[in-house]
Structure formats: structure tokens, C-alpha cells
Chain A
Amino acid sequence: MNVMTRAESSVASDVVKISARDVQVHYGTTQAIKDVDVDILDKTVTAFIGPSGCGKSTFLRCLNRMNDTIDICRVSGRIMLDGEDIYDRRIDPVQLRARVGMVFQKPNPFPKSIFDNVAYGPRIHGMTQSRAELDEVVESSLRRAALWDEVKDRLASPGTGLSGGQQQRLCIARAVATGPEVLLMDEPCSALDPIATAQVEELIDELRTNFSVVIVTHSMQQAARVSQRTAFFHLGELVEYGETGTIFTKPRDPRTESYITGRIG
């Protein structure tokens, strides 16, 4: 019981950052997400796990309206960010994505300099008044992404020249630069080696002091290592959502048990 209490207390906040109710997603006539209700906490890492095609990435992409870019995709239900419906007509999806940043599976730096990669968001959102201010945002973002020391002497070199792990941290710095409140990560380590993975995981743990982080991962070990809350998706349904330690030691649903012990894929 003590272990459980300690793991529980590692959640820094019980403030609900994102609240989803009765979310359904269809691709054409195919239903990808069924009746998902979930409360994602602020300053907490939440992991979405589940077999391929279970809908975890689809649901993640609902959280910053990335699915809007897919024509046949239809989202219904309500997703509230700080109590505000993000699918409301008055919400500008571009502004929303500055608040809810995203990092993808493959590092995808722009074919620009390291500096410009990070400066891109603050520039298009007009967040800074002067070059000095922009320099400051770039430096602090790179520091947050634990990349500053490695790149501070070559900010003008192309971002694509960095190693895979560095490129991914550059993408995290780019996402952090717009001052988001939530960071969505879709398998951020699947293209990285174990050392780079460990660095990104350490970074995720640091990021949660300021952000709510939601990570989709195929690695159950990674979910167990980095998250405080885990949601298990199966066939488009949210089967179980709870404290990560409980999910991995004593899950309630037999489907969760079968998945985490390697019995269903």
C-alpha cells in the first residue's frame, strides 16, 4: 500500500487540463474511437497504450485538432481544454496548436538552421518584439529540451545535420518555444537509440513540472517509466485508465492484463 501511495503522490496536480466526453471518431464509415471519456491532468505525464489500430494516435490527434487536416475524419463529442470546447467554432485551430504542441514519431526538423527551427513558432505567432527577446526564447527552449549545451556554438547550422536523438530534442524545443500548456507526443522515441530514448524520457519527466504531457507509445516499459497515468485503448475503446503503477501491477480489466502481459497484440 505504501508503494501505491508514493506513486500516487508523484502526480503534482489534480487539476484537469483536458476533459473529453463521449468522443467518437469516424474515418468515413469506419468508427475508430467509441465513447471515450477521459480527464487528463495538468503537470502529469499520461501514456496512451494499446495495440496497433486501437485508436490511441487518433484520439491523441483529436486533442489539438490534427484530425481536421484529414478530410474523411469526423469527430463528435466534447473535448474541453481548461473548460473551453476546442471544437467550438470560435476557436482558431492554429492558435490551439500553439497551446497544445505536438512531437511526432520521426524527428522532422525544418530544412532550416537550428535557430530558425526553434524561432519559427514564436515568429509566426508574433510572440516576440525584438531579436534579443527571440534569442532568449530560443535559448530557453533549447535548454528546456536539454539540447542547448550541445548546439549553442552552431545555431546557424542546419537542424537536419544533427543526430536522430538531437533532432527529436530539437523538435521538442520547437514545440516548447510557443509556450504550450499541453505537449502531445506520438511515439517520440521509436526512431531513437536507447541512450537518446533515455535522454528524451528524462526530458519528459522535467517537462511535466510545467506542462501536461500526453505520450502515445508502443513500449509498455516506456509508458511504465515515464507516466503517472496510463490509458489502455483496445478496438477504439478506452478500456482502462488509471494510476500507472496500478495498471502495470493490478489492472482491473482482463483485456488490460492480457495486453500488458503480452497475451494479446
Chain B
Amino acid sequence: MSEEHIVKSFDRDLEAIQAMVMKMGGMVETAILDGAKALETRDEELADQVRRADKAIDALEERINEEAARLIALRAPAASDLRVVLSVMKIAGSLERVGDYAKNMAKRAHVLGQMTAVGGSGGALRRMARAVVDMLSDALDAYVHRDVDLAHDVRRRDCEVDQMYNALFREFLTHMMEDPRNITACMHLHFIAKNVERMGDHATTIAEQVIYLVTGALPEEVRPKAESVTAIGVGEG
């Protein structure tokens, strides 16, 4: 739908709300990268900055929801316009969750800063965070360009993030079994890894919203999944 509305202010409203989501996306990407960096470099000031920035992300989500409600009430959007408004609300919700996970990573970075470092997991977590940021940024690009192929590509890549998480899970388990003094740090690190993995799921949700926005239906085919760690027992770590 490249044509403009007869009522031009309707176009401006739709563009404004989508611009807010893109802004929110940028803020969330920064939060993830900074959170991961603070964790790896034990930079407490950067960690504090990430925690503070989350308030702005939450406020923006609230504004997006208010704008969406106003748009529905005043413009009665139909068909693809309605899908824009619905997808904007879902994407903002996903981004808000990702922002919370980034904040949580920063909080734990603070705690971990007081402990002895465990293995090279900081670097591995940062690589995983990088992969998730790439997914997120591609999902938002796909949104802007209404690019269904790119959205499908993002969905497929979630499997790689899941595999990274599984590898970290095993690594943390090994460290904990080697030396019980690692348990506290590893528990924190594991939560961080799990949260980054959840961020990937949210990026996938955003990619699915792009597909819904363009085609009018959510993708049906099952996406590739990594082997689950839920089956791993203590003895086999």
C-alpha cells in the first residue's frame, strides 16, 4: 500500500507512531549492547546508565499504546492500516520486554562485578547479545521496508541463538561442578544467558508481526528449533 490516504493527517499519524517504534528499537538495541559490554568489561557506570535508560523505553511504550488507542478511536483503521496499529502495539510490547531483560543484565553485571570472573563467558554472552541485536535490527529493518524475506530470515536465525544458549548452559554447569564457589556467579550468568535467549524470541515475534502486517496472516510453518536443554540432567553436563 504505497498510496496515500485522502485524509493526509491519517498518514502522518501512522508514520508518527511507526517512527516512535523505530526510536524505541534503537534505544533497546543500545541497552542490549551496553549491558553486554558492561558485563564483559565490568563497567559499573555503564551498567547504571543502562538501568536508568530503561525508564525512557517504558515511557515510550506507554506513549505508543496511547497513540494506538487514539488512532483506533479517531480513525477507525481497516485492513492494512489496522494491521499497522495492531503490529505497532505488539512490537512495542516485545521491545519493552527486551528492554527489561537488558536492564536485568545490567543489574546482574553490577553484582558480578564484585565476584571473581568465571571462564570466558562474558565474551560468549557478548557475542550472543550481538547476534540478538542483529536479529532485532533486521526485524525492525524488515518492518520499515515491509520485507517478508528478511523477516523469515530473522525467524530462522533464532535457532542459532538457542544453540549459543545451550552451549553456555553446558559451560556454566561444568564450572559449577568443578568448583562450588562458582555457583553464585554461574547462576547469575545463566539467568543472563536465558534472558538473552528470550530477547531472541522477542525479535522473532517482531519478525512474525512483519509477516502478519504484509500478508495479513501469521506464518504457519514451524520454524527450526535447537535441541532443548530441558532434557539435560546433572550427570551428563
Inter-chain contact B5/A248, CB cutoff 8 Å: no
Residues 253-265 of chain A, each 1 if its beta carbon lies under 8 Å from chain B, else 0? 0000110111111
Interface centre among B4, B76, B79, B217 (most CB of A within 10 A): B79
Inter-chain CA distance A265–B76, complex, in Å, is 17
Inter-chain CA distance A251–B216, complex, in Å, is 9
Residues 66-104 of chain B, each 1 if its beta carbon lies under 8 Å from chain A, else 0? 000000000011111110000000000000000000000
- The residue in chain A whose Cβ has the minimal distance to the Cβ of B5 is A262
| Interface residue tally for chain A (C-beta within 8 Å) | 15
- The residue in chain B whose Cβ has the minimal distance to the Cβ of A256 is B79
Q: For A220, what are the chain B residues with a Cβ–Cβ distance below 8 Å?
A: 78
A131 at the interface (CB under 8 A from B): no
Residues 159-191 of chain B, each 1 if its beta carbon lies under 8 Å from chain A, else 0? 000000000000000000000000000000000
Inter-chain contact B4/A248, CB cutoff 8 Å: no
Inter-chain CA distance A265–B80, complex, in Å, is 17
Q: For A263, what are the chain B residues with a Cβ–Cβ distance below 8 Å?
A: 1, 3-6
Residues 217-248 of chain A, each 1 if its beta carbon lies under 8 Å from chain B, else 0? 00011001000000000000000000000001
A130 at the interface (CB under 8 A from B): no
Nearest Cβ distance between residue A220 and chain B, in whole angstroms? 7
A250 at the interface (CB under 8 A from B): yes
A69 at the interface (CB under 8 A from B): no
**Which B residues are within 8 Å of any A CB, using their own CB?**
1, 3-7, 10, 76-82, 216-217
- Beyond the given pairs A249-B78, A261-B80, A265-B6, 20 more chain A to chain B contacts, judged by CB atoms under 8 angstroms and listed by A's residue number, are A221-B76, A248-B78, A248-B79, A249-B82, A249-B216, A250-B217, A251-B79, A257-B80, A258-B1, A260-B79, A261-B1, A261-B5, A261-B77, A261-B79, A261-B81, A262-B5, A262-B7, A263-B3, A263-B4, A264-B6
Of the A-B pairs whose beta carbons lie under 8 Å apart in the complex, a sample of 22, sorted by A's number, is A224-B78, A248-B78, A249-B79, A249-B216, A250-B79, A251-B79, A257-B1, A257-B80, A258-B1, A260-B78, A260-B79, A261-B5, A261-B77, A261-B78, A262-B5, A262-B7, A262-B10, A263-B1, A263-B5, A264-B3, A264-B6, A265-B6
